[in-house]
Amino acid sequence: MVTAATTSAPLIEKHTIGYVPPEDRHGKTRDLFTLWFGGNIAPLPIVTGALGVQMFHLNLVWGIVAILVGHLVGGVLMALHSAQGPQMGIPQMIQSRAQFGSLGALLVVLIAGIMYIGFFASNIVLAGKSLHGVVDSVPVPVGIVIGALGSGIIGIIGYRFIHVLNRIGTWVLGAGIVLGFGYIFTHVQTADFLTRGSFNISGWLATVSLAALWQIAFAPYVSDYSRYLPANVPVAATFWTTYLGTVLGSSLSFIFGAVAVLATPVGMDTMDAVKLATGSIGPLMLVLFLLSVISHNALNLYGAVLSLITLVQTFAYRWIPTAKSRAILSIIILAACCFAAVGASANFIGHFVDMVLVLLVVLVPWTAINLIDFYAIHKGQYDINSIFKVDGGIYGRYNPQALLAYAIGIAVQIPFMNTPLYVGPISEHINGADLSWLVGLIITSPLYYWLANRDTAYKRRLSTAKLANSL
């Protein structure tokens, strides 16, 4: 059904972190499938998926099983966050003020912003390499700048344009990756394609964790792309279209990376392996991936800008950010990332993956608290006006229950961690498998539920929020 909001929605988005009123709501839930399917057919998930056979030495069958298990599990959390968007009508990170308080939420907002910037910088490096692979005369640094500018334009235009591009990308990239699979399977260049590697429990668990964490990494911004949908959209519809899109798209890319490196000699860079494995259609695949990474990277820039605006607005509460503010901040972040990426080391992507693994240790408890608060405690009913007040309104500046559960959620993960900064004793005992994210979810979720329900003041805030929604 075409509504007035749909036909009159401006191409350049006017909202930033503010509430999206009913008259500005537009779109359909199926847009979420194309956004997360098309957005995940990209070089970075391909490179990440290849690690299952490159770094963890699984064979093809066990690598695929681990990839599927990880995405199927992690995708549940990611899609549950997506379903919050139409109900709240505000970006994901500013919503955290309802759980942590106006000042208590600053840490997770800052961490999410850093992660977005890391994703953006890593993707423009991949864009630069892809463009150089297509046109040898274009140096990688020049390719980096071109890729960043493309993503910047898309991010500045905003929400609607991002969805439009991914609707197109779903068909083009979907057909492209199927064609790529077909070519590789009919032109395998290695005798050990099916036998290289073997099952090992630590490698299998590590690959599952990598796939699950890929999905959880979207949690801090996934509802940003569903918040314009009408508020009466069923939660189940939002969940399933997001879930199917992100799990299918991510799994295909992860598996494509594993297949490409197994079909080529040991030791090749993943994207070089993709180019070699796809033979005569290799240049076409690189062009598609280049366009994909430019389009998808706009989401990282968009999320970084919204996080930065949220941080600044916490203190400059009289400031009303506009589309112009979003554009200026986008240019600043873009320029800084280009400067860093051009001068980065050859192992920039590897360093980025290491950084994300560290950051996710502190984002996993946030995911648990946010979901429990939304679905089990508040049941989607919040006082939006309080979220934008400098003193946090009914939510206050700090929520001790959330902060305590958050701190404990981080602490219990430490023995299970395997990051460049620290390897926990339990992780070391199981040959380096990182299960910290699973432990963090299992401990933090019931702990926060228990703490929130035994707090009388929190129950009063809950009643106030329900009253505000009924008026």
Task: Collapse the DSSP code of 270 into the 3-class scheme (helix H, G, I; strand E, B; otherwise coil) and give the result.
Answer: helix
How far is the C-alpha of 16 from the C-alpha of 405, rounded, in Å? 30
Domain ranges in the chain are 21-470
| CA 251 to each of CA 94, 400, 419: distance values in angstroms, whole numbers, following the listed order | 30, 38, 24
CA distance 59 to 71: 18
R_g over Cα of the chain:
22
Cα–Cα distance, 95 to 452 (Å, whole number) = 17
Name the residue with tokens 């390719």: 143
Supply 358's token pair. Answer: 């560290």
pTM of the model: 0.88
Cβ-based burial of 414 (10 A; exposed 0-12, middle 13-18, buried ≥19):
middle
Phi-psi label, residue 431: left if phi above 0, alpha if psi -120 to 50, beta otherwise: left
Q: Are 63 and 52 in contact (CB under 8 A)?
A: yes
Q: Which helix (H) or strand (E) covers residue 389, if one does?
A: none
Both tokens of 162, joined, read 């991002």
Q: How many Cβ atoms sit within 10 Å of the Cβ of residue 464?
A: 15
The whole-angstrom separation of Cα 359 and Cα 115 is: 7
pLDDT at 349: 59
pLDDT at 4: 45
Tell me the residue type at 19.
Y
Helix axes 140-157, 106-134, angle to 10 degrees: 130
Q: How far apart are the first and last CA of the chain?
A: 29
Would you identify the CATH topology of the domain 21-470? Hydantoin permease (1.10.4160)
The pair phi, psi for residue 221, each rounded to 5°, is: -135, 5
Q: How far is CA 227 from the centre of its chain?
A: 16
Residue 435 near residue 423, CB atoms below 8 Å = no
Dihedral angle, C-alpha 88, 299, 104, 337, nearest 10 °: -160
Looking at residue 342, its pLDDT comes to 78
Distance of CA 86 to the CA centre of its chain: 18
* Cα 246 to Cα 54: distance, rounded to the nearest angstrom: 24
Phi, psi at 423, each rounded to 5°: -120, 120
**CA–CA dist 301, 122 (Å, integer):** 12
| 80 three-state secondary structure | helix
- In whole angstroms, give the CA distance from residue 69 to residue 40: 17
CB 359 within 8 A of CB 111: yes
The string of DSSP letters for 292-347 reads HHHHHHHHHHHHHHHHHHHHHHHH-TT----HHHHHHHHHHHHHHHHHHHHT--TT
Spell out the per-residue pLDDT of the chain, length 471, in tens.
Answer: 444 444 455 667 777 788 888 888 888 899 999 999 988 988 889 988 999 999 889 999 999 999 999 999 999 999 999 999 999 999 888 899 999 998 999 988 888 888 888 888 888 888 888 788 778 888 888 888 998 999 999 888 887 888 888 888 889 989 999 999 999 999 888 889 988 989 988 889 889 988 998 999 888 889 989 998 998 899 999 999 999 999 999 999 999 999 999 999 888 888 888 888 998 888 888 888 888 888 888 888 888 898 888 888 888 777 778 888 888 999 999 998 888 877 765 566 566 666 666 777 888 999 999 999 999 998 888 988 888 888 888 888 989 999 999 999 999 999 998 877 788 898 888 777 778 899 999 999 999 999 988 766 665 666 665 655 655
Q: What share of the chain is helix, strand, coil (3-state, %, to 5)?
A: 75, 0, 25
DSSP one-letter string for 4-51: HHHHH--SS---SSS---GGG----THHHHHHHHHTTSSHHHHHHHHH
Local structure of 369: helix, strand or coil = helix
Between the alpha carbon of residue 226 and those of residues 109, 141, 350, 371, 398, the distances in Å are 19, 34, 31, 16, 27
Question: What is the torsional sign of CA 337, 343, 346, 348?
Answer: negative
Tokens of 409: 């959620």
* Cα separation, 442 vs 215, whole angstroms: 17
